[in-house]
Amino acid sequence: MIERQQPFVLTMKALPVLQLLFLATLVATTQGSFEHDIADQIIHLLRPKSGVGGSQVGNISCLSWRLGVETHNIIDWTTIPAACEGYVGHYMLGDQYRKDSEVVTHEAYVYAEGLNLTNDGNNLWVFDIDETTLSNLPYYAEHGFGVEVYNSTAFTAWVLEGIAPALPESLKLYKKLLALGIKVAFITGREESQRNVTETNLKNVGYDTWETLVLKDSSYSGSTAVVYKSAERKKLEESGYRIIGNIGDQWSDIMGTNIGNRTFKLPDPMYYIS
């Protein structure tokens, strides 16, 4: 007859004092190590007060609103709902935004790694910049995470500081693509007048090489992002490049023409660009 063992249950009363002290020390040490590891990868020093670590965030409709935005069912919006400022802030500063970004960039790399590419130097991957390669979370954390109406003067002042951190997941993808022999191009909605500060910012955070950096000039005044980026991708293909991948945080980054063999959408519930 096999003796059935009882489940092991450890109660605080049964735990000797010395074991308690050891356990407390172990937890403190482990927590400190974990926080140290994360500290090297944070993209903004603010941390959410709640909404992470399994705790619940109120107003579940904000989660549904974010889903609608990411699936492009909610379009042409100007600001996030005022009631969702806290929810979006918790999401952007919490673990979930980083995990969602990691899933996207991981799939992008798996796709690229599995391609049987001709090594002729013409394979190209297109990256957007804002909220794709560079993160403007330090700015949006001070401006309601998208609840405020976009202020071009204030945002331009932030861009000109040239201190936007890298989105870590995108930087890892960038480096892995280069290691595969895939070249990189940046196409951004930033204006041509911001070229120098954008180049410096990219290099300072680890994006140290690219084929071309395309910024929006006056010839596209009044054009939508879809029209502008489609035209610039077409120019790249006409010059001989094969766009095998295209990644951005806005649907307008990956819609239109000449979008590439496959597109990838990073999360961004803070703003919408048509």
State how far the Cα of 191 lies from the Cα of 152, in Å rounded to an integer: 12
Tens-digit pLDDT profile for residues 180-206: 999 999 999 999 999 999 999 999 999
pLDDT confidence bin for 47, thresholds 50/70/90: low
* Residue of higher predicted confidence among 45 and 79: 79
Tens-place pLDDT, residues 85-117 = 999 999 999 999 999 999 999 999 999 999 999
What is the model's pTM?
0.81
Domain ranges of the chain: 15-265
Residue 129 CA, chain-centre distance (Å), reads 10
Cα–Cα distance, 107 to 188 (Å, whole number)? 23
Give the pLDDT confidence of 118-161 residue by residue, as tens digits. 989 999 999 999 999 999 999 999 999 999 999 999 999 999 99
The band of 48, judged by pLDDT with boundaries at 50, 70 and 90, is low
Predicted local distance difference test score (pLDDT) of residue 24: 43
Q: Report the distance separating Cα 164 and Cα 155, nearest Å.
A: 12
* Residue 200 in tokens: 């410096």
pLDDT tens-digit series, residues 220-230: 999 999 999 99
Q: Residue with structure tokens 């300072």?
A: 204
The whole-number pLDDT of residue 43 equals: 67
Contacts 24+ apart (CB under 8 A), 209-215: 209/178, 209/184, 210/183, 210/184, 210/185, 210/186, 211/124, 211/183, 211/184, 211/185, 211/241, 212/185, 212/186, 212/236, 213/185, 213/186, 213/188, 214/185, 214/186, 214/187, 214/188, 215/188, 215/190, 215/191
% the chain with pLDDT above 70: 78
Q: What's the CA gap between 2 and 239, in Å, rounded?
A: 75
- DSSP at 198: H
Q: Angle at Cα 24 formed by Cα 18 and Cα 25, nearest 5°?
A: 90
Kindly indicate whether the domain formed by 15-265 is annotated with CATH number 3.40.50.1000.
yes
Q: Which residue matches tokens 């802030």?
A: 89
